[in-house]
Structure 1
Amino acid sequence: MKIVLASASPRRQELLTRVLEEFTVIISDFQEETVKFNGDFEDYVKEISKGKATDVASKLVGDSLVIGVDTIVAFEGKVLGKPKDNEEAYAMLKMLSGKVHTVYSGITLMKTLTSEILSTSVATKIKFSNLSDEEILNYVNTGDALDKAGAYGIQGLAGVFVEEIQGCYYNVVGLPINKLNSMLKNFL
């Protein structure tokens, strides 16, 4: 059975090599904005991960297993996606400064021959230190904030902002590899 990761994220691709020796990457064309946020973060990320998996599965012929993943940052009832510019990145980080937020990832496994689906979510709590305006500006000016949910990547320069973590570190990077490994064992 061919295994396909439905993600353009280089971080997810690198992390998946820790779980699987062989897989193919096919980038999903799923439009995430078609999923409306109903107030439940776990349902929201699972729906987007299902959308990505279903989109890629529809392009495949033969026996494949598609892995769809989505990660968001949740804070005070809102979804913090990827910032559109440096100003929005700064505002997000200023909001998170000194506070606790939650990172959610949805994972969906889909078998193309049977359309069988297994979907779950993982949550990790992160507490940021109090950040000075200068620290935030210096980080935002690196450009690292723009392609990441919540305007930061824990695995990079923003790792220094993290005072405390409760849950899976790899979830915050974008692929909870322990959970995915368990799902694959039970689904294959």
Structure 2
Amino acid sequence: MPRLVLASASPARRTTLRSAGIDPIVVVSGVDESQLGDLPPAELALQLAELKCAAVVGRDEVPADALVLGCDSVLELDGEALGKPHDAEEAARRWHAMRGRSGVLHSGHCLRDVTTGRVAAATASTTVHFADVSDAEIDAYVATGEPLEVAGAFTIDGLGGAFVTGIEGDHHNVVGVSLPLLRELVLELGHGWPDLWV
């Protein structure tokens, strides 16, 4: 049975996979997420996922029969790709722009079978509707530090969940890994989804 290796430091991705019966080996890629410049948001998410996967594949801690998963998420708002904010001021500016509006969260997924070298990759996109939050709520949320650590400056599975009024698409994707899409990639590489369960 192959073992899934997650090329990401995201605790939310790891928790999502564990809840789905998969206990991944975590190997942080160390990829600089700012290196690709001005690609369209969905393409940027996929390219970063591919880079993260490639950065981890040859490492010593990766089993020879592993499936390596690279993921990256960006929020698209007004055609612009928004990753993690650099500081509290940027996070607050983003929330002032996002409140009462909708954006699209793109999560790129790249899965590589270490044994065969085969790769399957795709992007999942989910529309996210944001509450018309007050200035005081934005200030309080930014002060928690949570929005500084996540793409788009929000979470759906943490403190920011109350500020998301709805989504269209896979809610797991908003957390950072689309389970339905990952299942399709696993099948594309010739494996069974239940084979990853522990």
Distance 1:77 1:57 in 2: 32
1:87 and 1:33 map into 2 onto residues whose CA distance is 19
Distance 2:23 2:11 in 1: 15
User: Counterpart amino acid of 2:24?
Assistant: F
The amino acid that maps onto 2:188 is N
Describe the superposition over 1:105-149 as per-residue Cα deviations: whole angstroms up to 9, x where unpaired. Answer: 000100123321100000011111212111111111111111011
1:94 matched residue in structure 2: 96
8 Å CA contact 2:14–2:24 kept in 1: the answer is no
**Mapping 1:73-112, distance limit 5 Å:** 73-112=75-114
User: Partner residue of 2:195?
Assistant: none
Higher alpha-carbon deviation: 175-184 or 43-52: 175-184
Q: Deviations over 1:80-101 (max 9, x none)?
A: 1111111111001110011111
1:171 is paired with a residue whose SS is helix
Output the CA distance in 2 between the equivalents of 1:163 and 1:21.
29
Match of 1:33 in 2: 34
Distance 1:90 1:121 in 2: 27
Alignment partner, residue 8 of structure 2: 7
Q: Does residue 185 of structure 1 match 2:191?
A: no
Distance (Å, rounded) in 1 between the aligned partners of 2:44 and 2:16: 23
Quote the residue 2:194 is aligned against.
none
- Structure 2 residue 161 is matched with structure 1 residue 159: yes
**Maintained 8 Å contact 1:93/1:150:** no
The alignment partner of 1:120 has SS state of strand
**1:141-179 CA distance string (max 9 Å, x none):** 111111011111111121111122111111111111122
Residue number in structure 1 paired with 2:56: 56
Measured in 2, the distance between the counterparts of 1:51 and 1:27 equals 12
Q: Which secondary structure state, in structure 1, belongs to the residue aligned with residue 152 of structure 2? A: helix
- How far apart in 2 are the matches of 1:31 and 1:88? 19
Provide the secondary structure at the position in 2 that maps to 1:17: helix
Contact residue 19 and residue 181 of structure 1 kept, 8 A: no
Instruction: Give percent identity, aligned residues only.
Output: 32
User: Aligned letter for 1:174?
Assistant: G
Specify whether residues 13 and 155 from structure 1 end up closer, same or farther in structure 2 by C-alpha distance, changes over 3 A only. Answer: same
User: Which amino acid letter does the alignment assign opposite residue 7 of structure 1?
Assistant: S
Structure 2 alignment gaps of length 5 or more: 192-198
Cα offset, 1:20, TM superposition: 4.1
Counterparts of 1:138 and 1:107, CA distance in 2:
32
Task: Tell me which moved more, 106-115 or 90-99.
Answer: 106-115
Aligned length: 187
**Secondary structure in 1 matching 2:167:** strand
Question: Equivalents in 2 of 1:54, 1:93: separation in Å?
Answer: 33
- The farther-off stretch of 29-38 and 77-86 is 29-38
TM-score, normalisation: structure 1: 0.92
TM-score, structure 2 normalization: 0.88
